[in-house]
Amino acid sequence: MARLGIENIRKSFGATQVLHGIDLAVTDGEMIVIVGASGCGKSTLLRIVAGLETPTEGTVRIDGRDVTTLEPADRDVAMVFQNYALYPHMSVFQNMAYGLKIRGLPKAEIARRVGETAELLGISALLDRKPRQLSGGQRQRVAMGRAIVREPKLFLFDEPLSNLDAKLRVQMRAEIRRLQKRLGVTSLYVTHDQTEAMTLGDRLVVMHQGHAAQVATPMEVWARPADTYVGGFIGSPAMNLLEAQLARSGAAAALKAGPMLRFADGPRSGPDGQRLLIGIRPEHVRHDPAGLELALDLVEPLGSESVLHGRLPGGEALTAKLAGSAPATGGSITVALPPQDWHVFDAETGRRLDPA
Give per-residue pLDDT as tens, 289-303: 999 999 999 999 888
Task: For residues 119 and 262, state if they share a domain.
Answer: no
Residue 327 has pLDDT above 80, yes or no: no
Give per-residue pLDDT as tens, 180-225: 888 899 999 999 999 999 999 999 999 999 999 999 999 999 999 9
Task: For residues 169 and 191, state if they share a domain.
Answer: yes
pLDDT at 353: 95
Out of 210, 232, 254, a domain closes at 232
Give per-residue pLDDT as tens, 32-44: 999 999 889 999 9
Task: For residues 283 and 268, state if they share a domain.
Answer: yes
Nearest to residue 11, comparing CAs of 49, 54, 51? 54
User: By the 8 A CB rule, do 206 and 221 touch?
Assistant: yes
Q: How far apart are CA 45 and CA 24, in angstroms?
A: 11
Q: Which residues contact 108 (CB under 8 A, 6 or more apart)?
A: none
Task: For residues 125 and 267, state if they share a domain.
Answer: no
**Domain that includes residue 259, residue range:** 238-346
Nearest to residue 50, comparing CAs of 30, 70, 24, 21? 70
Task: For residues 207 and 338, state if they share a domain.
Answer: no
Nearest to residue 237, comparing CAs of 336, 321, 153, 161? 321
Q: Does the residue 313 lie in any domain?
A: yes
Q: Does the residue 353 lie in any domain?
A: no
pLDDT at 331: 86
Give per-residue pLDDT as tens, 13-39: 999 999 999 999 999 999 999 999 988
Give per-residue pLDDT as tens, 339-352: 999 999 999 999 99
Q: Identify the CATH number of the domain in which residue 85 sits.
A: 3.40.50.300
Task: For residues 14 and 139, state if they share a domain.
Answer: yes
Nearest to residue 148, comparing CAs of 97, 82, 83? 97
Task: For residues 141 and 168, state if they share a domain.
Answer: yes
% the chain with pLDDT above 70? 100
pLDDT at 302: 86
Give per-residue pLDDT as tens, 108-146: 999 999 999 999 888 999 999 999 999 888 998 899 899
The CA R_g of the chain, rounded to the nearest whole Å, is 24
Q: Does the residue 352 lie in any domain?
A: no
Give per-residue pLDDT as tens, 78-98: 998 888 788 999 999 999 999
pLDDT at 168: 84
Task: For residues 282 and 342, state if they share a domain.
Answer: yes
Q: Does the residue 351 lie in any domain?
A: no
Residue 151 has pLDDT above 90, yes or no: no
Task: For residues 58 and 139, state if they share a domain.
Answer: yes
Q: How far apart are CA 106 and CA 112, in angstroms?
A: 10
Q: Does the residue 65 lie in any domain?
A: yes
Task: For residues 306 and 329, state if they share a domain.
Answer: yes
Out of 232, 266, 284, a domain closes at 232
Task: For residues 108 and 168, state if they share a domain.
Answer: yes
Out of 172, 204, 232, a domain closes at 232
Q: Identify the CATH number of the domain in which residue 247 sits.
A: 2.40.50.140
Q: How far apart are CA 324 and CA 302, in angstroms?
A: 9
Q: Provide φ and ψ at 87, rounded to 5°.
A: -75, 115
Q: Provide φ and ψ at 313, rounded to 5°.
A: -55, -30
Domains of the chain: total: 2
Task: For residues 323 and 193, state if they share a domain.
Answer: no
Q: Does the residue 354 lie in any domain?
A: no
Model confidence band, residue 286 (pLDDT cutoffs 50, 70, 90): very high
Amino acid at 135: S
